[in-house]
Chain A
Amino acid sequence: MRKRVQHQSGRLLSEFLVSLGLFFLILTADLSIVDLATDSASQARTTQFGLGLAQNALEDLIADSRAGKAMVRHSTHSQSVSKGKVVRFNQTVRVAPMAQFSSHLSLATVVVDWDNGRRKIRLERYVAGR
């Protein structure tokens, strides 16, 4: 009788352990899917913010009446892109007059980088000084 109870207990324990193993196997796969999906969404949002920053900087230059003059300007901008995650964007605006072509024409370059420089957006445009 005792032998049979021991046998049953052993079988139950092994079933429990197998179930536990399967549960953690599925849990790991599920968690990695959720993590990948939220990470992709967060990256898409961050890239959108970075692009918006670069576009705004170019629009500011177009509207600026002194845009034709040579200059380099660095700035930083922090943005909350997802719950509890704040991304720091570094922005560099450079204006280089193109004296060889025109006395009024300059090349404006806006570079926005984040994630320690691993991700970068660069926009270029000719701007006219007035």
Chain B
Amino acid sequence: MSQDVERETTFSTAKSLFAALLALGAGFLFLFSALVTTIGEAGSVYDDDSAVKALGRMVRSDLIDLVPGSLRVSANGRELTFSVNPSKPQQIHYRFDGESGEVFREQKGQTPNKIGRLKRLVFAKEASLLSMEWNTSHDTVRRTWALDRWTHAKGAK
């Protein structure tokens, strides 16, 4: 009789332990999935932002020294070329690789600078505006820069 009780108690404890471990496993699984979701969401914001911010900063600082009339955009909008430093012109080339999604800044005599990775990037020149359009994980975003301001500022000197 006492052996039966002992066996039953052991069995009951084993069942409780198994259930507790199962619940713990499910809890960890849920925690892990929540962590993956959160990191994924934060990561998508960071990825889009870091590449676009770096690219925007570079283009803007290059445009300050733009040689008037030198800006060209390729027919497919993936390449942007212009010259800087009017006294000793140097050509700057921005290139978006459609296959790898990588964006490069190239300057003669320097190794190409890999800026980041984007899903899509299109440059366009409309009158005196340069625009850059890219895709985030949710939508299409556009950024513009007025080109004339730099030439006006230089003219005012």
| Contact surface of A with B, Cβ cutoff 8 Å | 8, 12, 15, 19, 23, 26-27, 30-31, 33-34, 37-38, 41-42, 44-45, 48-49, 52, 55-56, 59-60, 62-63, 79-83, 128
Contacts and interface: CB of A to CB of B under 8 A. Distances in A.
A63 B127 contact: yes
A19 B144 CA distance: 57
A59 B141 contact: no
A62 B27 CA distance: 56
Contacts of B31: 30
Interface of B: 12, 16, 19-20, 23, 27, 30-31, 34, 37-38, 41-42, 44-45, 49, 127-129, 136, 138-139, 141-149, 152
A38 B139 contact: no
Contacts of A44: 45
Given A44-B45, A48-B49, A37 B144 contact: no
15 contacts: A26-B27, A30-B34, A33-B38, A34-B38, A37-B38, A41-B42, A52-B142, A52-B143, A60-B129, A62-B149, A63-B127, A63-B144, A79-B139, A81-B138, A128-B152
Contacts of A26: 27
B45 A59 contact: no
Given A30-B30, A34-B37, A56 B45 contact: no
A56 B45 CA distance: 20
B152 A83 contact: no
Residue with the highest number of chain A CB atoms closer than 10 Å, among B41, B145, B152 = B41
A37 B138 contact: no
Contacts, number: 73
A89 B142 CA distance: 15
B143 A56 contact: yes
Contacts of A38: 37-38, 41
Contact of A63 (B42, B141, B146): B146
A79 B138 CA distance: 9
Given A19-B19, A23-B23, A63-B129, A37 B139 contact: no
Contacts of B16: 12, 15
A88 to B, nearest CB: 13
B124 to A, nearest CB: 13
B49 A63 contact: no
A38 B38 CA distance: 6
A84 B23 CA distance: 33
A22 to B, nearest CB: 8
